Amino acid sequence: MAVTVLGLVGCRKDGPLPQSMATEPFPLEVPAWMPAVPVPGDNPLTRPAVELGKHLFFEPRLSRTGTVSCGSCHFPDHAFSDTVALSLGVDQQPGMRNAPTLANVAYHPELFRDGGVPNLEMQVLAPILDEHEMDHDVLVLAGELRDQEPYRSLSQLAYGRALDPYVITRAIASYERTLISGWSRFDRYLYEGDSMALTTSEANGWQLFSGPVAGCTGCHSGFDLSDHSYRNVGQYLTYADPGRARISLDPADEGKFKVPTLRNIARTAPYMHDGAMATLEEVVDHFASGGLAHPNKDPLLGPFTLTAQERTDLLAFLHALTDERPLDQVP
């Protein structure tokens, strides 16, 4: 019986996944200059796990109403972010925060904008159980999908067990771990020595971005253009959302949110933790203003002045952070 089950196949357009692929590593492409993707030892990045995760990621039956999948709020064409300020969950209920891009989420030391979840595996439960998002019972949904293909076969192949909450969380985490961003023109310019990859305006924008006037790299640093720290950027004088303080319980963290990656930023509007800014122009102008005088506002933020050309250059640079290939590496 076990042999029969394990010999079953996943659903692929180009044919079944053979049993020999059960432990085959997923052929993840990562730019040579980027750090290796962190993968937990108890959830190796195998081909069937990632394929199962992709099926589950776009499965609306994860939600109580059968209408909302992860992909309903994380659109591949928008670097796996949403196009509205607050995503709508089951029964058209708005979520709490703007759905962020999942690009390079594998590298995040903590998940969510307040860092409340320590790893991707544990993050998966949150939208499924959240009454404003999918509002489902993960045990019930596992039962609903368990005997359906491709879930039955891929679950056995990837994890040697029937679909259950463990498999669901591990598989979706595996898929999310493969969403790598590192193929923008900026990457070619900075990391691959292609000095022609950026226009003059974009290159000037990079100089502004990383220079002392704008000083954006004080927070948007490193290969992910984020140091993944939590900062208050003076968006409000009083925050309706406590941000990092919700987790740390420290009033000094009120209004602090994780510094977002700027990769594919031109595709991930609207912006800020609540999606309150519709355009990159608004965002640039906010930071140029130095932000509002919230007591927790980050000391790195201060007003600066840009000429019209400099503002154009900075915006051009931000548009050069868009990947030239899809984030999704699963056929």
Partner 1 sequence: MMNQNRTHRSVAIVALSCGMALLVGCHKPYGTDGPQGLVRLKVEATWQGQPLQAGSVHLNVTNYRTQVELLKLYLAELRLTGPGGATELADIALFDALNGGTEELFEAEAGTYSGLHLGLGVPAALNATDPVLYPVGHPLSVSNGTYWTWATGYRFVMFDGRYDTDPNGTGVPTNLFSIHSGMDPCYRVRDLAFAAPFTVDGGDTTDLVLQLEVDRFFHNAVDTIDLVTDHQAHGDNMPLAMRFSDNVLGSIKVQ
By annotation, the residues acting in catalysis are 133
166 near partner 1 (CB under 8 A):
yes
Handedness of CA 199, 202, 204, 207 (dihedral sign): negative
- Residue 188: name the closest of 203, 210, 178 by CA: 203
- Contact residue for partner 1 among 31, 40, 76, 116 (CB under 8 A): 116
218 near partner 1 (CB under 8 A):
no
Size of the site for partner 1 (CB under 8 A): 20
39 near partner 1 (CB under 8 A):
no
Q: How far is the CB of 242 from partner 1 (least distance, A)?
A: 8
Q: Which residues of 283-292 are buried (b: 16+ CB within 10 A; e: fewer)?
A: bbebbbeebb
User: What is the token pair recorded at 235?
Assistant: 């968006």
Give the range of 120-128, 231-239, 254-262, 306-314 binding partner 1 by CB under 8 A: 120-128
User: What is the token pair recorded at 207?
Assistant: 């100089």
User: What is the token pair recorded at 100?
Assistant: 């962020």
Give the range of 74-82, 117-125, 147-155, 210-218 binding partner 1 by CB under 8 A: 117-125
Q: How far is the CB of 177 from partner 1 (least distance, A)?
A: 16
Binding positions for partner 1, 241-280, rule CB under 8 A = 242, 246-247, 249
Give the separation between CA 55 and CA 49, rounded to whole angstroms. Answer: 10
66 near partner 1 (CB under 8 A):
no
Cβ-based nearer residue to partner 1, 119 or 207:
119
Distances (CA, A) of 136 to 133, 191, 243, 262: 9, 44, 25, 32
Q: How far is the CB of 185 from partner 1 (least distance, A)?
A: 37
CB 322 within 8 A of CB 213: no
Would you put residue 275 in left (φ > 0), alpha (ψ -120 to 50) or beta?
Answer: left
Binding mask 121-160 for partner 1 (x = CB under 8 A): xx--xx--xx-------xx---------------------
Q: How far is the CB of 130 from partner 1 (least distance, A)?
A: 7
Give the separation between CA 201 and CA 271, rounded to whole angstroms. Answer: 23
Query: Where does this chain bind partner 1 (CB under 8 A)?
Result: 112, 116-118, 121-122, 125-126, 129-130, 138-139, 164-166, 169, 242, 246-247, 249
